[in-house]
Amino acid sequence: MSNFINDNRLKALNRAGELKTSIMDYLEVEKQIETGFRMESRTFNNKMKILDYFKATEADWDNWAWQMKKRISNVEDLTNIIDLDEDIKNDLMELSNSFRWALSPYYLSLIDFDNYQNSPIFKQAIPCILEFADMNGSNDPMAETATSPEVRITRRYPDRLIINVTNQCPMYCRHCQRRRNFGEKDEHALKSEIEKSLAYIKNNKEIRDVLVTGGDALMLSNTMIDWILGELYDIEHVEIKRLGTRCLVTLPQRITPELCEILEKYPPIYINTQFNSPMEVTPEAKKAADMLIKAGAVLGNQAVLLRGINDDSHVMKKLNQELLKIRIRPYYIFHAKQVKGTAHFITRIETGLKIMEDLRGFTSGLAIPTYIVNAPDGLGKTPLLPEYLISLAEDEVTIRTWEKRTLNYPNKLY
């Protein structure tokens, strides 16, 4: 008996050694990955520089209305805060004639000012010359205009739909699927338009899940958010209300006690956000997440796979682990859509599959989202996975494990 126990103990120790060895490469790289928590001191110094430039106070910084009023959207302000190379400055001046851009002072503070060209924050927020040269893709690859049975609605699935309530965002992401909606100014949907959307939902009783998005849904006033959620809450067949927002990433100050009081009235509320870099997971984001969770919201993240931002297995793993620490569940990794002006962000499908392969088994299942390719022309989300099923027979299947071990598994009823 003791020999049996000792043999099993030895096998367990050997196996533990194998597992430890398999993660050593990540542990070495992980030490060098910048996160919002690790870079808190640098971000604080950047914040002080920005406050000094705007002659503002800490109270201003914590006010989301001030953050929106002081969005950086011109080359002069940006250059006075970050010492831009002359070529980049000239390119940006030219690009500003063609492309609208803006970012909140908060999001600007996350950039490494001394190494801004390699910053995942800078790349997502500031136009580059590649946007101008891109002749690929289309302005509406998801055919949202052709899948809109009523004003402000996009419907691509049997039991759920989108209400697009605004084109306004705290920051205009350079990879955005709705770049066509940036326009020349911020515009919310008219109340009369939203009333038509709500009437459509009331008249189609199969709709049980409604996503309110934009733009950024939380750019609406508290009064308007309260009204929309209240109207949806009173529709008996609407079971799920979702809000699409990137405020936790770009403007966590928007999550106020007053907003949370509104959300708490209309359960269940699901909030979809979009963290793309571990640098975006900050103490401020955690505070916002904590407030939303206390109000009863369920938080999920929909990352976009972006070349030069997160197209690395170690970076994506760290992002998802950081999100779990602040109680945001990784939900989707979206393959970047074929939007005109964004080709420099788009990876190959193989890149996404490799990331999924490198996540499965190497980290908690909680940290593994679903990899999604959006079919063109509004045909919906298509999940992609590495191939784990090798063959399927009447009595047996052949499968591949996360360690690439091939084995047979019974497939029959007893």
| Residue bearing the bigger pLDDT, 315 or 337 | 315
Q: What mean pLDDT is predicted for residues 116-123? A: 97
* For residue 413, pLDDT beyond 90: no
Nearest to 135 by CA among 344, 304, 305, 309: 344
Question: Which pLDDT belongs to residue 294?
Answer: 98
Question: Which pLDDT belongs to residue 177?
Answer: 82
Question: Which pLDDT belongs to residue 1?
Answer: 58
Average pLDDT of the chain, as a whole number: 94
Q: What is the pTM of this model?
A: 0.95
Which distant-in-sequence residues (6+ apart) come within 8 Å of 261 by Cβ?
295
DSSP state at residue 72: B
Q: What mean pLDDT is predicted for residues 307-335? A: 98
Question: Which pLDDT belongs to residue 197?
Answer: 98
* For residue 182, pLDDT beyond 90: no
DSSP-derived pairing of the beta strands 329-335 and 240-244: unpaired
* Residue labelled with tokens 């079919």: 375
pLDDT tens string 2-60: 666 688 899 999 999 999 999 999 999 999 999 999 999 999 999 999 999 999 999 99
Which distant-in-sequence residues (6+ apart) come within 8 Å of 93 by Cβ?
75
pLDDT tens string 367-407: 999 999 988 877 889 999 999 999 999 899 999 999 999 99
Q: What is the dihedral of CA 321, 113, 255, 294, to 10 degrees?
A: 30
Q: How far is CA 246 from CA 173, 214, 249, 300, in A?
A: 10, 10, 5, 11
Question: Which pLDDT belongs to residue 2?
Answer: 64
